[in-house]
Structure 1
Amino acid sequence: MKDALERESKWEVDRGFVLPALDDLVAGGRVETTSVQLTSVYHDTDDLDLLADNVTLRRREGDDESGWQLKIPHARGRLELSTAVSAELPRELADIVRGIGLGKPLHPVTTIYTLRDRHRVLDADGALIAEVADDTVEATLAEGSGDTLAWHEVEIELGPETEQVPAPLVEALLRAGARASEYPSKLSRVLPGRPARPAARSKAERAIGDYMTAQIDMIVAGDVELRRGRDPIHDTRVASRRLRSTLRVFGTLLDGTAIGEIEEELKWYACLLGEVRDCQVQRRRLADELAELPPELVLGPVTARIESELLGKQVRRRDELAEAMNSRRYLDLLATLRAWKSHPPFDGRVRGRDLMRRAHRAARKADERLATGLRDQRAESLHRARKAAKRARYAAELHEPVRRAGRAKANIAYYKKVQQVLGDHNDAIVSAEFLWRTATITSTAQDENGFTFGLLYANEKHEAEAARKKIAEVVAKRRS
């Protein structure tokens, strides 16, 4: 399977539109022109779940563009994954969209025919600046319906080193009567998309809706990347936690019936991600510590033992995560989150003072738990303070648009610092426990020595103590 970043813009044009000359766009450059007929059969679920997330899956035939193509949103455009043309949908692509499709069957939903005149604008060295496609398009409105829709459009795809559409090209298109298209893809013009979120009734409602939608989008993006075998574990876990924190802190402003058990389901999913993430963190942390030790203090196969134990656990937890992501429980969670994007679970009007009151309450609870942790110095208390600080930070992020920006940013920065320091403390405690357990095993193993494990254990205890002192300084500075 090949992948390529696609950065393109679409332009509406009338039927009689004539593409302006492109020869003088680049000094010393040239234009290569070819024509191709393309037949694209788009696949989706009955409910168009892929289209709802701006994902397209098609089987295309036509000259050098033949093959299966999956396009998914990317921060800089869209990522196109492609495989060779075949009669059946390739399993590897079907697996990637299983989550977005909510586990539903995929089948053809429409066919789009395109007569494309391709104009490749090259610079003096032959590098591609942009490809301008002059497309005459016809599509069936629904598979098997016989109804058709026809239009004319221009599509500009940027070359790999081009950051934006060249200004002379934009000016030429505008003069010729082109205008920016409202449709992100040909498919979105043909098939109805999901209804947009209703207009917010207040600034506060917009803030909570936007924040929840951003986390849901991150979870969905993480689903795709995880199914591709990538590693978005950290970002996906954080998005799950942010969304769950929103339900906890601002839950009384939301519809309890709509929320149901979603908070617990998000906790379940975040824990699955966390099991993998914790192994990653410990592997990196202990590898760095071992690398800093003088060689004469590393006795026996310590590095191999630690890597074997943690990597083995990580692989098992990753398999458990993959299994859970194909479960009905997880797919039902995704279905609910998608529904919230167009129908946020509000319970009446949300006002700015409602958000601020609950954010302040989250901050007070974080401060109280932090005071308790500093007083009794117990690992459990400091861990509870860390979780409360995360909720306070996320609440400040959410309600930042409805209060004074300076104050909100100060709270975000403070609770982020608390979270980081207490995170270091927790990592040290967890690593120390792992080292102790591993040392008890190696103490009876042949050709292994517990000395280095003891040394690492002592270092972790020292790091935990340093974190406790640092958090006291952070709090004292805040109060001064």
Structure 2
Amino acid sequence: MKDVLERESKWAVDRNFTLPRLDDLVTNSRIEELPVELTSTYFDTAERDLLAHDLTLRRREGDDESGWQLKIPHSRGRVEVTARLSDELPHELAEVVNGAALGRPLNAVATVHTLRRRHRILGSDGELIVEIDDDTVDSTAADQPAELLAWREIEVELGPNTDKIPTILRDRLAEAGARMASYPSKLSRVLPERTGPAATNSRAERAVHEYMTTQIDLIFVGDVGLRRGEEPIHDTRVATRRLRSTLRVFGKLLNRSAIGEIDNELKWYAALLGDIRDCHVQRRRLAEEINALPPELILGPVAARIDAALLARQLPSRNALAEAMNSPRYLRLLATLQTWKSQPPFERRIRRRQLVKRARRAASKADRRLVTALHNHRHESLHRARKAAKRARYAAELHKPVLKPARARSNIKYYKKIHRLLGDYNDSVVSTDFLWRTATAAGTAVDENGFTYGLLYANEVHAAEGARQRVAAVAAGE
């Protein structure tokens, strides 16, 4: 498969639109013009699950773009993943969208035929600066084959080293009567988004629903990334934790029968992600500490042994995650989360004071646990305080829209700092345990000893105590 970052904009025009002059947009450039005919068959589930996540899967046949194409949202546009043309959907593309499709079968949902007049503006070195496509389109939806939809549009796609549409081009298109299209893609025009009844009524309900929807969307984004071999472990795990925290803190305001066992299922998934994330953190953390040591204090293959030991844990954890992500259990979890986007698990009207009350309870619990932990200095107490601070932080984030902005920002900032410092403390505690076990193995190996591991261990003990003291200072208002 091949990945290409696509950055394009679409412009709506009428049938009589005349494309403005293009040959003087860029100094020392030239234009390549080419007529292209394209036929694209789009695939999705009957419920349009891919479209719901802005994923576009199509089989394209044309003069120069034949093949399978999957378009994935990206912060700078869309990533187009391509595979060779074949009769059947390539397995590697089917796997990437399996989570978003909830394991459901993919079938043809629309056919789009495009007569394109392509204008490629090339620099003096032959590199593409911008491409302007004048498209005449007709399409049919699979469930309404007798209804033909036809329109004309302009697509402007940036070259690899072009940051934005040239101002002169934007101005000329607007002067000629073009306007930014209301549809982000051709498919979204053929298959408009299905809208259900209003999911929320009160401001408090909207706050809960929007917060939950944001986390659910991030979980689905992480699913696609993980299936592509990327490592969005941290963001996916945090979204899972935020959603689980919402169920824990505000659960009594929700429909318990609708929530069911989702809390446990999110805990299960977060644990799978956490096994990998912990290895990532330790590998990076200890590699940085070793690099910071004077060379004469590094006795033996310390870095290699540590990295090998952590990799030996990380790879099986990654395999376990991949296996779980294709299990019926995981797909059922995603299906429930997808349903919550349009039908949130609300049992009765949620009011502002209820959100504020439960967020304050979470904050009070975090404060109590922190006092206890700072008093007895026990690892277990500090760990419980960290989890409580995390829930207080996420609760503050959720009910921010119904709280005074300054108060909300203050609460989020405070519990975020406590959560982060206790996280640093926990990372050091985990590192000391790992270093002790690794030093034990290295001490019995030929040509190795435990000196450097002991030095690293002492540094981590010192770091843990420093983090604990910083937490105490923040709690004391210093």
Q: How far apart in 2 are the matches of 1:410 and 1:172?
A: 48
Cα 1:214/1:197, change in 2 over 3 Å: farther
2:88 alignment partner in structure 1: 88
Deviates most, 419-428 or 343-352: 343-352
SS in structure 2 at match of 1:65: coil
For these two proteins, the number of residue pairs brought into alignment is 478
User: Which 5+ residue runs of structure 2 have no aligned equivalent?
Assistant: none
CA pair 173-348 structure 1, distance change in 2 beyond 3 A = farther
TM-score (norm 1): 0.94
State how far apart, in whole Å, the 1-side matches of 2:196 and 2:10 are: 21
**Shift in Å, 1:417:** 1.1
Using the alignment, how far apart are the partners of 2:190 and 2:20 within structure 1? Answer: 27
Q: 2:182 aligns to what SS in structure 1?
A: coil
> How far is 1:126 from its partner?
5.2
**1:280 corresponds to which letter in structure 2?**
H
Q: Does 1:44 find its partner at 2:50? A: no
Residues 65 and 299 (structure 1 numbering): CA distance in 2 closer, same or farther, change over 3 Å? same
CA distance in structure 1 between the aligned counterparts of 2:197 and 2:38, rounded to whole angstroms: 34
Aligned counterpart, 2:413? 413
Residue 452 of structure 1: how far off its partner (Å)? 2.5
Letter in 2 for 1:474: V
**Following TM superposition, by how much is the alpha carbon of 1:348 offset from its aligned partner in structure 2, in angstroms?**
2.6
Tell me, yes or no, if the aligned pair for 2:199 and 2:342 is still in contact at 8 Å. Answer: no
Task: Give the equivalent residue in structure 1 for 2:61.
Answer: 61
SS of 1:10's partner is: strand
Bigger drift between 129-138 and 217-226 goes to 129-138
Cα distance in 2, alignment partners of residues 48 and 307 from structure 1: 43
Residue 40 of structure 1 aligns with an amino acid whose one-letter code is S
Letter of the structure 2 residue corresponding to residue 460 of structure 1: E
3-state SS of the aligned residue for 1:108? strand
Deviation of 1:154 after TM superposition, in Å, equals 1.7
Could you list the per-position Cα deviations for residues 208-252 of structure 1 after superposition, in whole angstroms to 9, with x for gaps in the alignment? 222111111111111111111111111111111111111111222
Cα distance change on mapping 1:296 and 1:47 into 2, 3 Å: same
Aligned positions of 1:334-353 closer than 5 A: 334-353=334-353
Shift in Å, 1:428: 0.9
Instruction: Report the counterpart of residue 251 of structure 2 in structure 1.
Output: 251
1:178-232 deviation line (CA, Å, top 9, x unaligned)? 3322221111122243426726423222222221111111111111111111111
Contact 1:111 1:143 in 2 (8 A): no
Shift in alpha-carbon separation, 1:281–1:197, aligned structure 2, 3 A: farther
Residue 6 to residue 196, structure 1, CA distance change in 2 (3 Å) = farther
Q: Which residue of 1 aligns with 2:443?
A: 443
The equivalent of 1:213 in structure 2 is 213
Q: Residues 99-110 of structure 1: matches in 2 within 5 Å?
A: 99-110=99-110
- Local SS of the residue matching 1:477: coil
Q: TM-score, normalised by structure 2?
A: 0.94
Alignment of 1:328-477 (within 5 A): 328-477=328-477
1:58–1:70 CA contact under 8 A, matched in 2: yes
Greater displacement, 323-332 / 249-258: 249-258
State the alpha-carbon separation in 2 of the partners of residues 363 and 372 from structure 1.
14
- Per the alignment, residue 21 of structure 1 pairs with 21
Query: In 1, are the aligned partners of 2:365 and 2:388 still within 8 Å (CA)?
Result: yes
| Counterparts of 1:35 and 1:163, CA distance in 2 | 26
Whole-Å separation in 2 of the counterparts to 1:130 and 1:341: 38
| Compared CA separation, residues 20 and 295, structure 1 to 2 (3 A) | closer
**Counterpart residue number, 1:155:** 155
* 1:119-178 per-position Cα deviation (integer Å, ceiling 9, x unaligned): 223456655342221111111221694543222222222223333333433333333333
What does residue 297 of structure 2 align with?
Answer: 297
Can you list the C-alpha shifts for 1:250-308, whole angstroms capped at 9, x where unaligned? Answer: 22222222211111111111111000010111111122222223333333332222111
Unaligned runs of 5+ in 1: none
RMSD: 2.0
Q: Quick one: percent identity of the two aligned structures?
A: 64
